[in-house]
Amino acid sequence: MNFTHETLPQRVVFATGQAFERLPDEVARLGERPLVISTRAEEVLPGAARFREVAMHVPVEVAARARDAAEKHDVLVSVGGGSATGLAKAVALTTGLPIVAVPTTFAGSEATNVWGLTENGQKTTGSDPRVLPRTIVYDAALTRSLPDDLTVASGLNALAHCVDSMWAPRADPINQALALEGIRALRAGLPRHDLEGREQTLFGAYLAGVAFASAGSGLHHKICHVLGGMFNLPHAQTHAVVLPYVTALNISGVPPHIAEVLAGLSDLRDEVGAPRALRDYGFRETDIPAAVTAILPVVPPGNPVPVTAETLTELLHHAWAGEEPK
Quote the pLDDT of residue 1: 82
In a shared domain, residues 106 and 160: no
Quote the pLDDT of residue 112: 93
Q: Collapse the DSSP code of 34 into the 3-class scheme (helix H, G, I; strand E, B; otherwise coil) and give the result.
A: strand
Residue closest to 19 by CA, chosen among 109, 134, 132, 102: 102
In a shared domain, residues 17 and 126: yes
239 contacts 224 by C-beta, under 8 angstroms: yes
d(CA 19, CA 284): 41
d(CA 56, CA 116): 10
Per-residue confidence of the chain (326 residues) as pLDDT tens digits?
A: 888 988 889 999 999 999 999 999 999 999 999 999 999 988 899 999 999 999 988 999 999 999 999 999 999 999 999 999 999 999 999 999 999 999 999 989 999 999 999 998 888 989 999 999 999 999 999 999 999 999 999 999 999 999 999 999 999 999 999 999 999 999 999 999 899 999 999 999 999 999 999 999 999 999 999 999 899 999 889 999 999 999 999 999 999 999 999 998 988 989 999 999 999 999 999 999 999 999 999 999 889 999 999 999 999 999 999 999 97
In a shared domain, residues 152 and 301: yes
d(CA 99, CA 97): 7
**In the chain, which ranges are continuous DSSP H helix?**
19-28, 60-69, 82-95, 148-164, 173-189, 195-215, 219-231, 235-250, 256-263, 268-272, 288-295, 309-321
Tell me if 4 is assigned to some domain: no
d(CA 88, CA 199): 24
In a shared domain, residues 94 and 170: no
In a shared domain, residues 34 and 127: yes
For residue 27, give its domain range. Answer: 11-143
In a shared domain, residues 49 and 183: no
Quote the pLDDT of residue 121: 81
Quote the pLDDT of residue 25: 97
Alpha-carbon separation of residue 255 from 22, 162, 276 (angstroms): 43, 15, 27
In a shared domain, residues 63 and 81: yes
Quote the pLDDT of residue 264: 87
List the CATH number of the domain containing 242.
1.20.1090.10
Residue closest to 312 by CA, chosen among 258, 246, 229, 257: 246
How many structural domains are present in the chain?
2
Classify burial at 155, counting beta carbons within 10 Å of its beta carbon; exposed 0-12, middle 13-18, buried 19 or more.
Answer: buried
Angle, CA of 177, 152 and 66, to the nearest 5°: 90
Last-in-domain residue among 143, 173, 206: 143
Tell me if 3 is assigned to some domain: no
In a shared domain, residues 294 and 157: yes
pTM for the model stands at 0.91
Q: Starting at the edge strand that comes first in sequence, how are the strands of the sheet with 11-14 ordered?
A: 11-14, 135-138, 99-103, 75-80, 34-37, 49-51
In a shared domain, residues 109 and 209: no
In a shared domain, residues 194 and 110: no
Please name the residues in contact with 235: beta carbons below 8 A apart, sequence gap of 6 or more: 56, 57, 82, 83, 107, 157, 224, 228
In a shared domain, residues 152 and 129: no
Last-in-domain residue among 114, 143, 172: 143
- Which amino acid, residue 107? A
Last-in-domain residue among 111, 143, 175: 143
d(CA 288, CA 313): 7
Quote the pLDDT of residue 42: 82
Please name the residues in contact with 48: beta carbons below 8 A apart, sequence gap of 6 or more: 34, 35, 36, 77
